[in-house]
């Protein structure tokens, strides 16, 4: 299969929606605290079109002979007021179909984002979240040079749920 990395277009929405649902299902299976909100395909499509119209966002797809087999979404985000630079690039989602994993496709998608990010003003680094329980994802991102920076902790709102 010949796989080309290219910018996403609105016509990719149905395939991206299916891939995104698979990714959300995976995330929910990794950690019970992940409960995907219901999003219909028309809602997703409208959101994708809006995202594609923003110069501060990028979506790339891995196109395998006319079929989307992976995607990555990135965007420029503001840092907290006490940190410079004022902006960073964040990876929102990365998904590669299981049948084409372990062939460098995730890396190629990330490289497309790196090239795009290099053309953005004011952002000098990446920041992103990775589910703590998703060891495969953590290994992948570390292999690309990511390292821990800020740990995000979680707790329920009620004292009774906290336990001893």
pLDDT of residue 159: 67
pLDDT of residue 26: 96
The HSE-up count of residue 78 (CA atoms within 13 Å, CB side) is 3
**For residues 59 and 48, is the Cβ–Cβ distance under 8 A?**
yes
pLDDT of residue 152: 85
Q: How many domains does the chain contain in total?
A: 1
pLDDT of residue 157: 85
Q: Indicate the pTM of the whole model.
A: 0.91
Q: Which domain holds residue 77?
A: 3-162
Give mean pLDDT, residues 26-40. Answer: 95
In this prediction, residue 20 has a pLDDT band, given cuts at 50, 70 and 90, of very high
pLDDT of residue 161: 57
In this prediction, residue 124 has a pLDDT band, given cuts at 50, 70 and 90, of confident
For the chain, the average pLDDT equals: 93
Q: What is the dihedral of CA 106, 121, 17, 148, to 10 degrees?
A: 50
Residue 143, domain CATH: 3.40.630.30
Rounded to whole angstroms, the Cα distance separating 57 from 34 reads 24
161 vs 139 pLDDT, higher one:
139
Whether residue 34 has pLDDT greater than 60: yes
pLDDT of residue 151: 87
């Amino acid at each position: 299969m010949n796989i080309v990395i290219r910018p996403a277009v609105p016509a990719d929405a149905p395939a991206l929606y299916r891939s995104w649902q698979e990714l959300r299902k995976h995330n929910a299976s990794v950690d019970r605290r992940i409960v995907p909100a219901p999003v219909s395909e028309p809602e997703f499509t409208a959101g994708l079109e809006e995202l594609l119209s923003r110069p501060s966002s990028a979506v790339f797809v891995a196109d395998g002979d006319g079929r989307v087999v992976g995607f990555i979404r990135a965007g420029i985000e503001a840092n907290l007021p006490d940190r410079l630079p004022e902006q960073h690039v964040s990876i929102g989602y990365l998904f590669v179909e299981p049948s084409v994993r372990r062939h460098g496709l995730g890396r190629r998608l990330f490289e497309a984002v790196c090239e795009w990010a290099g053309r953005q003003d004011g952002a000098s680094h990446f920041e992103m979240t990775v589910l703590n329980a998703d060891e495969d994802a953590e290994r992948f991102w570390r292999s690309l040079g990511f390292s821990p920076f800020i740990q995000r902790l979680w707790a329920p709102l009620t004292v009774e749920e906290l336990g001893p």
